Structure 1
Amino acid sequence: MEKAVAEVKVSSIFIYPVKSCRGISVSQAPVTPTGFRWDRQWLVVNYKGRAYTQRVEPKLALVEVQLPNEAFVENWEPAESSYLVLKAPGMDVLKVSLSTPKEIADGVSVWEWSGAALDEGADASKWFSDYLGKPCRLVRFNAASETRPVEPEYAPGHQTMFSDMYPYMLLSQESLDALNELLKEPIPINRFRPNILVNGCEPFSEDLWTEIRIDKLTFQGVKLCSRCKVPTIDQKTGIAGPEPNDTLKKIRSDAVLRPTKKQQGRVYFGQNLVCRDSLTGGGGKGHVIKVGDLVYVLKMVSSAEEAAA
């Protein structure tokens, strides 16, 4: 049964090319099995190859990221003059070629995953090392040789690049508005780093969506998104405070939402997604989501208690 819930639409699309650095708001984005194209394709690592994130290095929140506008057009391929451009306070501009690097960095790790990545070279390494004040390298996911599976018990066969858990994360504007009504200081959506922001639904209704269609593409709602400390970091200053997590603990903890389930001390805000469609063949046509696309809810559960988490 297909129903458009009122008129739910995609209101914003965000891509985070470098994990834990600033996102880019775009009007459309090509969909791939591992997430939107360019999303979390780069990662800053320490001298041991371990991922740096805002949890440990909140200054990453101040790194601005730019890609060519045409990078979000279907089937676009970089030219030799195409760059990822990075800016940060007190730093010269860094330009990283979008051509595939030749160097390999072994022993790169993100959470439980480790593998080889592409090393973006000495200039990028020096830039991040100078900025964070400790040895760093900038690496790119090597999709030609590596795969990073998501949790097999939730979405077997699916994979992602350097995002925390899943290829896509969706939130509704109404959920953010409901949270902001409870906060002394309202916070912007960038605290939660979603890929897809929708509007036109009831607050927190995305908790219940197990299958949705956006334009021609079908997405599975895999599990509620449990939140870490990153939402407490002001993305303009890199300074952490107690909110919104203190308030989320009161209204969005597993004790509140899922009282009969095993308690894990988590708070939830948003829904993790995978794309159900085969994205191969057909020249990749139509595999784009645009701001303004309608969202159709195909399957849903009746309460957050029934949702996977």
Structure 2
Amino acid sequence: MNKFYLSEINIYPIKSLGGISLNEAEIEEKGLQHDRRWMLIDEEGTFITQRKHFELALLQVDIAENIMTVSHKKNLNHAISFSIDEETGESISVTVWDDRSTGFEVNTKVSNWFSEFLKMKVRLVKMASADRRLVDQRYASNNETVSFADGYPCLLIGQSSLNGLNEKLSMPIRMDRFRPNFVFTGGIPHVEDNFSTFFLGDVLFSAVKPCARCVLITIDQQNGLKGQEPLRTLAGYRTAGKKILFGQNLIHKGSGIIRLGDELRIEEWKAMANITE
């Protein structure tokens, strides 16, 4: 029987900016602590991502002693820092896909820094702690909530899945294209398609929906340049219902600490997934 072990834990504090790799993390109601609790919005309050602004890939986020620093990957002197607790106190109605949520602008200096970088008027907002943005009710089991992430608290991908994809590509890519929270070792490519429920530490996770991929995975996270891969190759063997699938969206019960090396203890398996191979 295969065993599966956690090999990466990643958070993305500001939606669509560079992630942070951790040795351990606390899982809260909305997902991993600090994950997608901030995002950039335009003047209408709509979220901004790499899908249209590829250059966001060049901004790296770090947190140390409750101070968040955003820096340019190619110019580390071009950076700005602020307290993770900082906010103006004025609530702003914000939009993530079809959902309305509430955020608070961090401060005008930070917003101006991002506006200068993007050459358009934007604001950096922090999610209101009391905001309850619900997971899609078709896949939720107990009115689970989510941060500013696209739709689910966490995303899981097997290292074997990326290895299998890279065998089909002329130039291998890195896992950061897919922005997972959890990466695990063990098993065949896409074995995660067949996970139903599993434990990490004392927290029970359910793999509720394959993750449909978009143009974002064609953006090199090291240089912000867009290509055609791996979307083109994945379309040839990971398509179902006209969607290209890679990884599993998760919901969870409870809270706790999750650590690198934790075993994914499978509680229940799904029937074999019907995805083109």
TM range (shorter): over 0.9
SS at match of 1:182: coil
Q: Note if contact 1:104-1:116 (Cα within 8 Å) is conserved in structure 2.
A: no
Q: Which amino acid aligns with 1:271?
A: Q
Residue of structure 2 equivalent to 1:73: none
| Cα distance in 2 between the residues matched to 1:100 and 1:247 | 43
| 2:201 is the counterpart of 1:205 | no
| Residue of structure 1 in register with 2:10 after alignment | 14
TM-score w.r.t. the length of structure 1 is: 0.85
Match 1:86 to one of 70, 84, 87: 70
Match of 1:76 in 2: none
Separation (CA, whole Å) in 1 of partners of 2:247 and 2:11: 16
Deviating more after overlay: 29-38 vs 85-94:
85-94
- C-alpha offsets along residues 64-96 of structure 1, whole Å, 9 cap, x if unaligned? 10001x6xxxxxxxxxxx311010145632011
Partner of residue 267, structure 1? 244
Q: Deviations over 1:6-28 (max 9, x none)?
A: 22100010000000000001100
Residue 109 of structure 1: SS of its match in structure 2?
strand
- 1:155 aligned to 2:140? yes
TM-score, normalised relative to structure 2:
0.95
1:76-131 CA distance string (max 9 Å, x none): xxxxxx31101014563201112242332422111111132111111111100000
Contact 2:88 2:107 in 1 (8 A): no
Separation in structure 2 between the aligned mates of residue 243 and residue 92 of structure 1, nearest angstrom: 30
Cα offset, 1:45, TM superposition: 0.8
> Which of 23, 26, 29 is equivalent to 2:22?
26
Superposition pairs of residues 37-186 of structure 1, within 5 angstroms: 37-68=33-64, 82-88=66-72, 89=74, 92-144=78-130, 146-156=131-141, 157-186=143-172
Query: Following the alignment from structure 1 to structure 2, what is the Cα–Cα distance between the partners of residues 158 and 167?
Result: 9
CA offsets 1:12-60 (integer angstroms, 9 cap, x no match)? 1000000000000110000112110000010011111111000011111
Structure-2 separation of matches of 1:101 and 1:169: 28
Q: Distance in 1 between matches of 2:27 and 2:197?
A: 16
Task: State how far apart, in whole Å, the 1-side matches of 2:265 and 2:27 are.
Answer: 17
- 99-108 or 33-42: bigger deviation: 99-108
Instruction: Give CA-to-partner distance per residue, 1:233-268, whole Å, 9 cap, x none.
Output: 0001111111000011001000xxxxxxxx3x1010
Counterpart of 2:252, as a letter, is C
Q: What percentage of residue pairs aligned between the two structures are identical?
A: 33
* Larger displacement relative to structure 2 (88-97 or 234-243): 88-97
Distance 1:177 1:275 in 2: 27
Alpha-carbon RMSD across the aligned residues, in angstroms, is: 1.4
2:68/2:84 contact within 8 Å kept: yes
Contact kept, 8 Å, 1:105 with 1:139, in 2: the verdict is no
Q: Please list every run of 5 or more consecutive structure 1 residues that lacks an aligned counterpart in the other structure.
A: 71-81, 255-262, 280-286
Q: CA offset at residue 164 of structure 1?
A: 0.5
Q: Which protein has the bigger strand share? A: 2
Q: Please, which of 179, 191, 216 is the counterpart of residue 230 of structure 1?
A: 216
Per-residue CA deviations over 1:116-168 (Å, capped at 9, x if unaligned) read 21111111111000000000100000022x11101001114111010001000
Amino acid at match of 1:6: N
